[in-house]
Structure 1
Amino acid sequence: MTDLDHLTQSLARNLKRWRNERGFTLDGLAARAGVSRGMIIQIEQARTNPSVGTTVKIADALGVSITTLLDYDQGPKVQIVAPGQAVRMWSTEAGSHTSLLAGTQTPGPLELWSWRLMPGDSSSSDPHPPGTFELLHVTAGELTLVVDDEEHRVPCGGSAAFEASGAHAYRNDGAETVEMTMAVSIPPVR
């Protein structure tokens, strides 16, 4: 079984588990996540590999981290992610990519990401649930962070923190590759 097969199977199993634990029907989760009922069925039956955006919407609607949805197993108290074992979630032909470095579920989902944006590339994000915060630290290049249509320049060595309940995007308007680390804190579902 390939890594992608493991990921698809884990996502199917974990989505079904978390949906049932939350008491959400297929229609209920579809409405909360803004994803079609058919897509959720396909994911739960391991018949599709959803986009990062779809996975984020479902995780947000369930109040769990993407890491929780993708976990192969619910393992030990300490999880070590070996170099090269981070989950690549998004990439472009130009070489931009994001990797989910680590995440935790308590008290609410908390995720740690590694980002690389090649010159001219960008990535947009739908709003997350109210109370979701993102912290980022730029380690190379200059990031253009767009929050609620307002642009913010974050230089190499700089950091930013913001509530991610509005539309936001990450852009590389420069000639140098942007690299950054980002943490996302999502409030628990009530």
Structure 2
Amino acid sequence: MEKDINDDNELERYLGNAIRDLRQKHGLTIADVAERAGISRGMLSKIENSQTATSLDTLSKLAQALGISLSTLFKGYNIPEGGAQHVKNDKGMQVVRRGTKHGHTYQLLAYDQGPTKLFEPFLISMDDASEVFPTFEHPGTEFLYMLQGKIEYRHGQQTYLLEPGDSLTFRGEVPHGPEQLVELPIRFLSITIYPTSAG
């Protein structure tokens, strides 16, 4: 298999920059580090400027001279680029669902998940003592976590009093939804995890 020269250059550049940054961070000169590592100043300068490849033995000596382990020298190399979705407080997408017109607010906290929806996290707020309580049925598993207020929540034939810090996990196919708003305002997280087809 042919070696990609660009990969080598990328690694040399990364190591050169990492060594220079660490040296400068500790207030050390090229002469200081070269002497501690037992290599010439010219060699260290070439390593820092990615003008030469170096052995693991030399890298190990340089790491010791800088007071770090060899693995620490490589820890930032080839890390995948991040792609997290950050939704700021109160910036979740407002979603219309049954009950929205009756004092219930649904904020979707993550979206744009691609063609297959894996999960849906909602922040649900209820600040109106409406008697309209929607009932839901959907595939997957739902997890509720109570943040504020008190609510009596129905799942099938059972009801559960949820207070701050309480959680409830259940199958979404069974009819479920609020039964009674006990103490307002109410805020809770609702996370639905959808089944994925095997294969």
Tell me the TM-score normalised to structure 1 length.
Answer: 0.50
Summarize the Cα distance change of 1:124–1:156 in structure 2 as closer, same or farther, 3 Å threshold.
same
SS at match of 1:162: strand
SS at match of 1:177: strand
What is aligned with 2:125? 116
Aligned pairs (5 A) from 1:66-81: 77-81=83-87
Task: Output one character per residue of 1:149-171: Cα deviation in whole Å (capped at 9) or x when no partner.
Answer: 32111112211111111111124
Summarize the Cα distance change of 1:155–1:80 in structure 2 as closer, same or farther, 3 Å threshold.
same
State how far apart, in whole Å, the 1-side matches of 2:162 and 2:177 are. 13
Structure showing greater relative contact order (alpha-carbon pairs closer than 8 Å, 6 or more residues apart) = 1
Per-residue deviation, 1:98: 1.0
Per-residue deviation, 1:107: 8.1
What is aligned with 2:137? 127
Q: Determine if contact 1:143/1:153 at 8 Å carries over to the other structure.
A: yes
Aligned pairs (5 A) from 1:21-36: none
State how far apart, in whole Å, the 2-side matches of 1:93 and 1:127 are. 19
SS at match of 1:127: coil
- Where in structure 1 are there 5+ consecutive unaligned residues? 1-75
Q: Determine if contact 1:172/1:178 at 8 Å carries over to the other structure.
A: no
Tell me the TM-score normalised to structure 2 length.
Answer: 0.48
State how far apart, in whole Å, the 2-side matches of 1:108 and 1:97 are. 21
Q: What is the one-letter code of the residue matched to 2:123?
A: S
State how far apart, in whole Å, the 2-side matches of 1:172 and 1:100 are. 23
Q: What is the one-letter code of the residue matched to 2:188?
A: M
Larger radius of gyration: 2
What is aligned with 1:51? none
Per-residue deviation, 1:83: 3.1
Q: What is the one-letter code of the residue matched to 1:180?
A: F
What is aligned with 2:92? 86
What is aligned with 1:163? 171
Q: What is the one-letter code of the residue matched to 1:136?
A: L
Q: Determine if contact 1:145/1:153 at 8 Å carries over to the other structure.
A: yes
Summarize the Cα distance change of 1:124–1:84 in structure 2 as closer, same or farther, 3 Å threshold.
same
Summarize the Cα distance change of 1:79–1:144 in structure 2 as closer, same or farther, 3 Å threshold.
same
Which of the residues 155, 161, 182 maps onto 1:153?
A: 161
Q: What is the one-letter code of the residue matched to 1:162?
A: F
| RMSD of aligned residue pairs (Cα, Å) | 2.7
Summarize the Cα distance change of 1:138–1:79 in structure 2 as closer, same or farther, 3 Å threshold.
same
Identity of aligned residues (%): 16
Which of the residues 184, 189, 198 maps onto 1:176?
A: 184
Per-residue deviation, 1:143: 1.6
Q: What is the one-letter code of the residue matched to 2:161?
A: R
- Where in structure 2 are there 5+ consecutive unaligned residues? 1-81
What is aligned with 2:62? none
SS at match of 2:84: coil
